[in-house]
Amino acid sequence: MAQAMSEFDHRYNMLIERFASEPEPAFNSDAEQTAGWGRRWGCANDIGRLRVVLMHRPGPEMAVLDTLPLIPELGAHGDPATGAYWRGEVIPSLAEQQAQHDALVAALREEGVEVVMLNAAAPGRHKSIYTRDSCIAVDGGAVVTRMGPRIRRGEERPVTQTLAALGMPILRTIHGTGLMEGGSFAYIRPDVAVVGVSSRVNEEGARQLEEVLAVQGTRLIRVQIPGYRLHIDGAFVMIHHDVALVNPSTLPFVFMEELKRLGVKMIPLNHQDPSWAINCLAVAPGRVLMSDQVGPRTQEALDKAGISVRLVTYDKVYLGGGGIHCSTSPLVRDAV
């Protein structure tokens, strides 16, 4: 009996050796992605040709805005009981917001981008249009975030369902007490990224994201967002190889010095132009979709730098707190 078992073990060991586990190629390699997941997923930069983007057309969830009282001392609408809020006194109609969102979608499709719509928004989650915040595409897959304020908590589930239906790998869901929103993350180049720590992103969320990036060989820089500002995309957006549009009045000096060390040329947003115009989207290296309210001075600087700009009207949607960059969550970009 012992001899028979020994012979079995010998053959079993030979079998396992001949058909051994294979850690290589890596999960995010072209071969592994194509064979196991149907295509090359994710982004390792913020400027490569944009192939697939996640968006959400505002819909029934926006009805909650009709119930929000005006808070005169804040110049905003809000309900502390539910956490829902609108930061200005004027709430544009749903039709106006949908029309501008539709125009942005049309512009993206004309640029050759596949637009994937969120399956459905969670009930009452009226900020679901800002898909940038609910997931972050990295090399080989996605990180589902964990939103900060109560009114945004719950957006994560429909995003997860949408990504799963696409067949996109989910490499991490921010969990525990971690907070992370995609508007405060950016690639500077494939091996260096930045996260803005703020009321919407805490150290635990940054640590969990850093773990994912470290496996891919990407260093994560932490930047402290000043005051009550929320996301780094209000002050920093990559728009070309080693070129960024920045708002130097709200970007920490130490980070701008780091950008210089990395060889990044910074185009400053002119202080006389609307600050939110920086919330733009690169659809290819040096090709940017931007608000038509960018202002002539900033646009002139972009022209001189050889940046091709396509203007899109988006002022009604911006009143809700986010622009073109916030409304688009890239899922697939070409490598650079």
pLDDT value for 92: 95
Cα dihedral 25/28/33/37 (nearest 10): 130
CB atoms within 10 A of CB 73: 5
The pLDDT score that the predictor gives to residue 301 is 94
Q: Give pLDDT tens digits along the chain (336 positions).
A: 455 668 888 888 988 888 999 999 999 999 999 999 999 999 999 999 999 999 999 999 999 999 999 999 999 999 998 899 998 899 999 999 999 999 999 999 999 999 999 999 999 999 999 999 999 999 999 999 999 999 999 999 999 999 999 999 999 999 999 999 999 999 999 999 999 999 999 999 999 999 999 999 999 999 999 877 889 999 999 999 999 999 999 999 999 999 999 999 999 998 888 888 899 999 999 999 999 998 889 999 999 999 999 999 999 999 988 999 999 999 999 999
The whole-number pLDDT of residue 3 equals: 57
Q: Report pLDDT for 2.
A: 52
20: exposed, middle or buried (C-beta count within 10 Å: 0-12, 13-18, 19+)?
A: exposed
Query: What is the pLDDT, as a whole number, of residue 275?
Result: 82
Query: Is the backbone of residue 38 left (phi > 0), alpha (psi -120 to 50) or beta?
Result: left
| Neighbouring-strand partners of residue 117 | 55
Apex 169 CA angle, 166 and 174, nearest 5: 115
- CA torsion angle 209 329 139 217 (round to 10): -40
Q: What is the pLDDT of residue 4?
A: 60
d(CA 57, CA 97): 9
* Structural domains present in the chain: 24-333 (3.75.10.10)
Contacts of 131 by beta carbon, 8 Å cutoff, 6+ apart: 54, 55, 56, 118, 159, 327, 328, 329
Identify the pLDDT of residue 15. Answer: 83
Residues 43, 218: contact at Cβ < 8 Å? Answer: no
Question: How far apart, in whole angstroms, are the C-alpha atoms of residue 117 and residue 171?
Answer: 21
| 95/103 Cα distance (integer angstroms) | 12
Strand partners, 220: 193
Query: What is the predicted pLDDT for the residue at 188?
Result: 98
Please say whether the dihedral angle defined by the alpha carbons of residues 88, 89, 93 and 99, taken in this order, is positive or negative. negative
pLDDT at position 157 is 97
Residue 36 CA, chain-centre distance (Å), reads: 24
Q: How far apart are CA 317 and CA 295, in angstroms?
A: 18
pTM above 0.85, yes or no: yes
